[in-house]
């Protein structure tokens, strides 16, 4: 057999290891699909939900009758049960009988910090006031819209892709390099006349080959199961995915540059990845964080990747629309790669 | 070409390696935290001739691995110079790498690659390389060519490591503890491999803490302790240096040597005895030039003190005896 180029052999080594390891195949294919299914079902849009209300003993039967007639689910509860149901969010509001000496004023017990509790209070109040004879003072009408890409699963899909691309680079390059160091394989390779950069080229090419697979699994599944559509330019999607992977590949090399054992490495990986899982808007929008944190949150590479992917997949952005994201990831990737190479320990 | 044949395969002068304990907190691993600097190699000079098999012999932690890794150009020495085949690592790294073969103390090749795939990976690094079939035949792994590395036995993995070292048809083969942890049969298979390579004109540098291995394979050995060479020569010369070729080991019934009032001076006074060592457990070892004269005298001495021998053995002196004589410790005490 003819001698192949070292970069080809190093790429093949990585791809062979990957494809012969059942565990990694699960993390690439099975895991994102399972998360899509679980979260897609949990947050599927089933139309306006029925409001559930707890009713303490002593509330007049006329009130509960009016609520039931108004489409509200009524649960008779004692004091202790009411407390726990309210805490668990199984009822939005608890109705409290009129206090002695306070006339016939009903009590609404709810936590205004919970959106569904505020909604429940408004619905319950509306039903009771109408039953008591209130008439609308102003004529209104509803205009219902069904905006594509507005469902939770539409929001989640690009986030999952971003998370998967980050994990793919961090584990697939960082973890693998540390493993090679632990096994003295790095040392053995540099004892042979291998060009050191060829090892990194091999890792990078193997990563590039995996990107379409990682993207494809989630996109195809989301399309088939939840009819999630890709709205923007495919070129922009490829660009943002490749830049994101390269950025995290650079960070993986930096994180892996000194670690001498896998325990240290998993600690360092968690240190880098966990804050971004929380802050970067994988599962919910990062705009929920306070205004003061926004500049820091937006400077994170995973935020840039998720924003870029959402811009392309949901908002239909082209290449121009993701320039900012590309720049943020480019800076992170380039700096970590250069620093990582300087610090990199082969032995 | 004549001149090139005369220059040594490996030479080094004043080699020192000091491990700095600082700056390791980030990566973790051995030596983490504060501590004093460790001197692993402490002024080492070596001259290894072409075509010889040279052994670095010493207990664990003596500095053998650090020394070979400096010679292999993997570690940078803190001080001293290294030349291989008339070239230095600073100037000629690329050319030099193509002419040496290295088997580290331990390399775990990717478990899910086949033997052939690993060899092809290593072949891709060399401009000129030995065909896979020939390599497999060299190390007797032809039947395992399609087996995954993870399915190989310890001896087979070690032979694969040596096949990887032989890929570029090297002039010098470095082997760091090549048979540690192997069963006797695998060990002998590996020895044959090394002898074949040397028989074809190759130079071998190996480290070991097995005396038998050094005596079997090495034309010359350097005994290393605490990062220094304490003795150097052919195994036969070193043993001759003890002044006696035989060792008599004995133990007394009951309380042992001390109880019978036997002192080292009593034993040294016996005819043909050149050295005496009382071990902690009451056993005693004598180096003896002529057992035929020494043994009757020893037995007479013991019975004259009213003691009896529990055990008496004679054997040829080994490099282990040389090491114990030089350092007072056994090689495998570590």
**pLDDT tens digits, one per residue of A27-86:** 777 888 888 888 777 776 665 678 899 999 988 888 889 888 888 889 999 999 999 999
B222 or A284, which is more confident: B222
Q: Which residue of A lies nearest to B162 if distances are taken between CA atoms?
A: A188
- On whether ipTM exceeds 0.90, the answer is no
Contacts for B145 with CB less than 8 Å, ≥ 6 apart:
B114, B115, B116, B132, B136
> Looking at the partner chain, which of A21, A184, A258 has a beta carbon nearest the beta carbon of B107?
A184
Q: Which of A272, A231, A275, A280 is nearest to A249 (CA)?
A: A272
CA distance linking residue B49 with residue B52, whole number of Å = 6
CB contact under 8 A, A191 and B74: yes
Buried-exposed string A145-182: b where 16+ CB fall within 10 A, e elsewhere: eeeebebbbbbbbbbbbbbbbbbbbbbbbbbbbbbbbb
B27, B75, B98: residue with CB nearest A264: B27
Residue A305 has pLDDT above 90, yes or no: yes
Residue with tokens 């996109």: A219
Q: pLDDT digit of tens for each residue in chain B (334 aa)? A: 444 456 789 999 999 999 876 655 444 444 444 467 888 999 999 999 999 999 999 888 889 999 999 999 999 999 999 999 999 999 999 999 999 999 998 889 999 999 999 999 999 999 999 999 999 999 999 999 999 999 999 999 999 999 999 999 999 999 999 998 888 988 999 999 999 999 999 999 999 988 889 989 999 999 999 999 999 999 988 888 877 788 898 888 765 445 566 788 888 888 888 888 877 667 888 888 888 999 999 989 888 888 888 889 998 888 888 888 887 777 665 4
Strand blocks (E) in chain B: 10-19, 38-48, 53-57, 79-84, 100-103, 172-176, 203-208, 220-225, 228-233, 246-252, 273-278, 283-288, 309-316
A184 vs B112: CB contact, 8 Å cut-off? no
- Count of beta carbons in the 10 Å neighbourhood of residue B271: 12
Q: Which residues of B touch A193 (CB under 8 A)?
A: 94, 97-98, 125-126, 168
Q: What is the DSSP letter of A2?
A: P
CB–CB contact A13 B74 (8 Å): no
From A115, A2, A107, A104, select the one nearest A55 (Cα to Cα): A107
Q: Does B72 touch chain A (CB under 8 A)?
A: yes
Domain range for B80: 2-239
Contact B125 A194 (CB under 8 A): yes
Tell me which chain B residues have a C-beta less than 8 angstroms from the C-beta of A183: 107-109
Shared domain check, B152 and B231 = yes
* B112 is a domain residue: yes
CB distance A252 to A173 below 8 Å:
yes
Chain center to CA of A193? 44
Smallest CA–CA separation between A221 and chain B, in Å? 30
The two structure tokens encoding residue B275: 């050295």
Mean pLDDT computed over A116-138: 89
Cβ proximity of A254 and A336 under 8 Å: yes
Nearest chain A residue (CA) to B109: A185
Task: Report how many domains make up chain B.
Answer: 2
B330 found inside a domain:
no
Strands B203-208 and B10-19: unpaired
If you count residue pairs, one on A and one on B, with CB atoms under 8 Å apart, how many are there?
Answer: 92
Q: Which residues of chain B does A258 touch, with a Cβ-Cβ cutoff of 8 Å?
A: 26-27
Res A131 pLDDT > 60: yes
Same domain, yes or no, for B155 and B11?
A: yes
Contact between residue A205 and residue A7 where contact means Cβ atoms under 8 Å apart? yes
Residues 192-211 of B with CB under 8 A from A: none
Are B228 and B263 contained in the same domain? no
Nearest CA in chain B to A19: B112
CB spacing of B121 vs A10 below 8 angstroms: yes
Residue-level pLDDT at B331: 65
What does the alpha-carbon distance between residue A63 and residue A65 come to, in Å, rounded to a whole number?
A: 5
CB-CB contact of A296 with A193 (8 Å): no
Closest CA to A156 of A245, A30, A282, A46: A282
Q: Do B28 and B163 belong to one domain?
A: yes
Average pLDDT across chain A, whole number? 89
According to the model, what pLDDT value does residue A180 have? 94
DSSP annotation of B332 reads: G
Measured CA to CA, the distance from residue A11 to residue A207 in angstroms comes to 9
For residues B192 and B70, membership in a common domain is answered with yes
Give the whole-angstrom CA distance, residue B163 versus residue B194.
11
Q: How does DSSP assign B200-255, residue by residue?
A: TT-EEEEEES-HHHHHHH-SEEEEEETTEEEEEE-HHHHHHTTT-SEEEEEEESTT
At residue B199, the pLDDT reads 93
CATH number at residue B196: 3.40.50.300
Which residue among A5, A13, A258 sits closest to B110, beta carbon to beta carbon? A13
Contacts of A261 in chain B (CB under 8 A): 28-29
**Which pLDDT score is estimated for A207?**
92
Quick one: B23 and B70 in the same domain?
yes
**CB atoms near residue B201 (< 10 Å):** 9
> Does B176 reach chain A within 8 Å, measured CB to CB?
no
CATH of the domain at B312: 3.30.70.100
Structural domain includes residue B325:
no
Calpha distance B217→B195 (Å, rounded): 7
**Contact present, B118 and B149 (Cβ < 8 Å):** yes
B277 & B217 share domain: no
- Give the mean pLDDT of A275-295: 90
B117, A13: Cβ pair inside 8 Å? yes
The residue in chain A having the minimum alpha-carbon distance to the alpha carbon of residue B166 is A192
What's the whole-number mean pLDDT along residues A325-347?
Answer: 94
């Amino acid at each position: 057999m003819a001698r192949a180029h070292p970069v080809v052999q190093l790429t093949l080594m990585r791809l062979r290891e990957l494809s012969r390891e059942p565990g990694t195949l699960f993390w690439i294919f099975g895991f994102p699909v399972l998360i899509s299914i679980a979260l897609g079902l949990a947050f599927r849009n089933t139309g306006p939900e029925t409001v559930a209300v707890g009713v303490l003993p002593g509330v007049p039967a006329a009130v509960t009758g009016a609520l039931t007639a108004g489409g509200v689910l009524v649960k008779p509860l004692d004091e202790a049960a009411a407390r726990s149901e309210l805490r668990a969010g199984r009822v939005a509001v608890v109705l409290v009988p009129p206090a002695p000496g306070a006339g016939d004023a009903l009590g609404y017990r709810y936590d205004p910090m919970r959106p569904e509790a505020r909604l429940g209070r408004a619905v319950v109040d509306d039903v009771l006031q109408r039953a008591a004879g209130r008439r609308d003072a102003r004529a209104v009408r509803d205009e219902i819209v069904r905006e594509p890409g507005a469902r939770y699963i539409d929001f989640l899909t690009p986030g999952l892709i971003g998370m998967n691309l980050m994990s793919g680079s961090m584990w697939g390059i960082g973890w693998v390099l540390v493993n090679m160091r632990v096994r003295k394989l790095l040392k053995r390779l540099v004892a042979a006349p291998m060009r050191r950069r060829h090892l990194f080229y091999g890792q990078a090419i193997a990563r590039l080959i995996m990107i379409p697979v990682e993207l494809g699994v989630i996109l195809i599944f989301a399309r088939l199961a939840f009819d999630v559509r890709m709205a923007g330019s495919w070129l922009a999607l490829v660009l943002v995915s490749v830049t994101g992977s390269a950025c995290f590949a650079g960070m993986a090399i930096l994180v892996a540059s000194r670690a001498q054992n896998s325990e240290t490495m998993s600690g360092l990986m968690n240190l880098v990845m966990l804050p971004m899982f929380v802050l970067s808007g994988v599962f919910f929008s990062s705009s929920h964080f306070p205004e003061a944190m926004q500049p820091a949150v937006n400077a994170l590479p995973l935020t840039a990747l998720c924003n870029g992917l959402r811009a392309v997949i949901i908002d239909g952005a082209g290449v121009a629309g993701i320039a900012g994201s590309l720049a943020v990831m480019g800076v992170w990737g380039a700096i970590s790669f250069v620093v990582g190479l300087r610090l990199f320990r082969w032995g | 070409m004549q001149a090139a044949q005369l220059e040594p395969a490996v030479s080094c002068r004043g080699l020192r390696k000091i491990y700095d304990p600082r700056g390791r907190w980030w990566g973790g691993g051995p030596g983490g935290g504060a501590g004093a600097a460790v001197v692993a190699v402490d002024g080492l000079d070596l001259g290894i001739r072409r075509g010889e098999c040279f052994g670095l012999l010493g207990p664990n932690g003596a500095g053998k691995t650090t020394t070979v890794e400096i010679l292999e150009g993997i570690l940078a020495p803190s001080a001293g110079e290294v030349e291989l085949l008339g070239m230095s690592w600073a100037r000629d790294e690329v050319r030099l790498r193509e002419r040496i073969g290295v088997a580290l103390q331990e390399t775990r090749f990717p478990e899910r690659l086949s033997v052939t795939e690993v060899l092809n990976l290593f072949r891709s690094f060399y401009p000129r390389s030995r065909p896979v079939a020939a390599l497999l035949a060299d190390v007797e792994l032809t039947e395992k060519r399609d087996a995954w590395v993870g399915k190989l036995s310890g001896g087979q993995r070690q032979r694969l490591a040596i096949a990887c070292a032989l890929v570029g048809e090297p002039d010098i083969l470095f082997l760091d503890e090549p048979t540690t942890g192997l069963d006797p049969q695998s060990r002998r298979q590996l020895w044959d491999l090394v002898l074949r390579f040397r028989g074809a004109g190759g130079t071998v540098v190996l480290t070991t803490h097995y005396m038998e291995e050094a005596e079997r394979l090495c034309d010359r050995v350097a005994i290393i302790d605490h990062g220094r060479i304490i003795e150097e020569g052919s195994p036969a010369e070193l043993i001759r240096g003890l002044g006696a070729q035989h060792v008599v080991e004995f133990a007394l019934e009951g309380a042992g040597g001390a109880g019978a009032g036997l002192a080292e001076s009593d034993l040294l006074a016996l005819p043909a005895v050149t050295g005496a060592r009382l071990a902690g457990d009451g056993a005693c070892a004598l180096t003896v030039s002529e057992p035929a004269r020494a043994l009757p005298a020893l037995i007479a001495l013991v019975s004259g003190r009213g003691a009896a021998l529990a055990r008496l053995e004679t054997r040829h002196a080994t490099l282990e005896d040389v090491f114990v004589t030089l350092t007072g410790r056994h090689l495998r005490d570590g």
